[in-house]
Amino acid sequence: MTPPPPAYEILAVRYGHLERTSTHNFIGGDDHAGPMPLDYFVWLVRGHGRLLLVDTGFDADAARRRGRQMTRPVAEGLKAAGVAAEAIEDIVVTHMHFDHAGNIPLFPRARFHVQDAEMTYCTGRAMTHPHLRTAFEGRDVAGMVQSLYEGRVVFHAGDEELLPGISLHRLAGHTPGLQAVRVNTARGAVVLASDAAHFWANLTRGVPFPILVDLAQYLESHQRLRQLAPSIDHIIPGHDPAVLARFPAEPGTIDMARLDLPPRMERTS
Ligand SMILES: [Zn+2]
């Protein structure tokens, strides 16, 4: 008999915030527009002697230039969670957008796990179009290429097991090489969807967030998310402030939530 996969702890660590209205969060706008802010997260997966960071966030400079609020710098949030950024050895970068792939110099020892399709996209012809490159930072992409030349990039293609109980799943649409991370926990498999769904409402309404490279693939990826997770409460959207509201806070903090524990309140969207 094969042993069951190990169950990990998952911590959502919020580092940023943006006030905006719901009109900006759905393609085609929103008939009932109201405040619908975004939170920005990195995620820590740990247990069984393993530690994995999912995404690296943006830094103060990008926050300033792009008008985002930095609620707590990524390195400080990680430190509050008991993790030294410079010691982290494995990082999954879900996609190369500025709010997921910045801060590369904070992680000198890390191997970065990316999808082939993402690096091909953000270093290729598509980036000649200003509209397509606007959510990328050239220096983040250059930092990843530099890491590649230091032997610190691991490429993945499609669905792959990363560690026992942790797998990567390419979910194209928002970008060509976006990958979700599926993690076994005590409450079952939890899927860190990243920007395959910014909000639970993108999923439940079936309406994409407006930054998109392929609508059909995006909607297919929603279907795949539902296949990968035992319930919608096991799918963690990339930017939904309800994540912090719904899941138990890490003791002593207000900006970290435990996603391996059951939600303490129902979804409202
Ligand atoms: Zn994002």
Backbone angles phi, psi at 3, to 5 degrees: -70, 155
Pairing mode, if any, of strands 90-92 and 111-115? parallel
Spatial separation of the C-alpha atoms in residues 219 and 80, rounded to whole Å: 37
The boundaries of the domain holding residue 128 are 9-258
Ligand 1 centroid from CA 2, angstroms: 37
1 Cα–ligand 1 center, Å: 41
User: Can you give the pLDDT at residue 227?
Assistant: 98
Distance 195 CA to ligand 1 centre (A): 5
Ranges of residues in the chain whose predicted pLDDT is under 70: none
CA-closest candidate to residue 163, choices 256, 1, 45, 78 = 45
Both tokens of residue 90? 């494995």
Other beta carbons within 10 Å of 229: 19
Q: Establish if 266 belongs to a structural domain.
A: no
55, part of any domain = yes
In a domain, 2, yes or no: no
C-alpha–C-alpha distance, residues 269 and 49, integer Å: 36
Count the domains in the chain: 1
User: CB within 8 A of 199, min separation 6: which ones?
Assistant: 25, 36, 209, 237, 239, 240, 242, 269
End-to-end Cα spacing for the chain? 41
Centre of ligand 1 to C-alpha 135, Å, is 9
212 CA distance to ligand 1 centroid (A)?
A: 12
Identity of residue 241: P
Q: Is residue 26 classed as helix, strand or coil in its secondary structure? A: coil
Q: How far is the CA of 139 from the centre of ligand 1 (A)?
A: 17
Looking at residue 57, its amino acid is: G
Contact 179/155 with Cβ under 8 angstroms?
no
Domain with 244 in it: what CATH number? 3.60.15.10
Alpha-carbon distance of 45 to 8, in angstroms, equals: 6
Tell me how many degrees the CA angle 179-183-188 measures, rounded to the nearest 5.
130
Neighbours of ion ligand 1 (CB under 5 A): 99, 195
In a domain, 50, yes or no: yes
Residue 1 domain flag: no
The Å distance, Cα 32 to ligand 1 centre, comes to 23
Q: What is the pLDDT of residue 67?
A: 97
Query: Ligand 1 center to residue 4 CA distance, Å?
Result: 33
- Rounded Cα distance between 249 and 243, Å, is 10
Q: Does residue 69 lie in a domain region?
A: yes
In a domain, 155, yes or no: yes
- Give me the torsion for CA of 120, 124, 130, 131, rounded to 10°: -40
- Alpha carbon of 132 to ligand 1 centroid (Å): 14
Q: Residues 167, 8, 13, 170: what is their CA dihedral angle, to the nearest 10 degrees? A: 10
Number of other residues whose CB lies within 10 A of the CB of residue 192: 24
Cα distance between residue 20 and residue 38, in whole Å: 7
Q: How far, in Å, CA of 161 to CA of 122, rounded?
A: 24
Classify the phi-psi angles of 33: left when phi > 0, otherwise alpha if psi is within -120 to 50, otherwise beta: beta
In a domain, 179, yes or no: yes
